[in-house]
Amino acid sequence: MDTITNRTLSSNETSSNVTTINILDPNTSKLTYNIWLHGGIFLIVLGTIGNSLSLAVMMRKNLRRHTTALYLMVLAVVDTAVLYNWFVRNWTYAISGIDTRLLSVASCKIHTFCSYFFVDFESWILVLVSFERLFAVFAPHRVRNIFTKKSAIIQITATGVFLVIVNLHFFWTQDLENGVCDAIERRYMYFSRVWNWIDFVICSFAPFAVMLSSNVAIITRLVYLQKTKKQSSTNKRNNTMTLTL
For residue 239, what are the domain limits? 3-244
Per-residue pLDDT of the chain (245 residues; tens, 9 = 90+): 433 333 334 434 443 333 333 333 345 466 767 776 777 788 888 999 999 999 999 988 888 888 999 999 999 999 999 999 988 887 787 777 788 888 999 999 999 999 999 999 999 999 999 999 999 999 888 888 888 999 999 999 999 999 999 999 999 988 888 888 888 777 777 787 888 899 999 999 999 999 999 999 999 999 998 888 777 666 666 555 555 55
Dihedral sign for Cα 156, 127, 45, 111, please: positive
Q: What CATH number is given to the structural domain containing 111?
A: 1.20.1070.10
Give the pLDDT confidence score for residue 129 in this predicted structure. Answer: 95
DSSP 65-122: TSHHHHHHHHHHHHHHHHHIIIIIHHHHHHHH---GGGS-HHHHHHHHHHHHHHHHHH
- Report if pTM > 0.95: no
Count: domains in the chain:
1
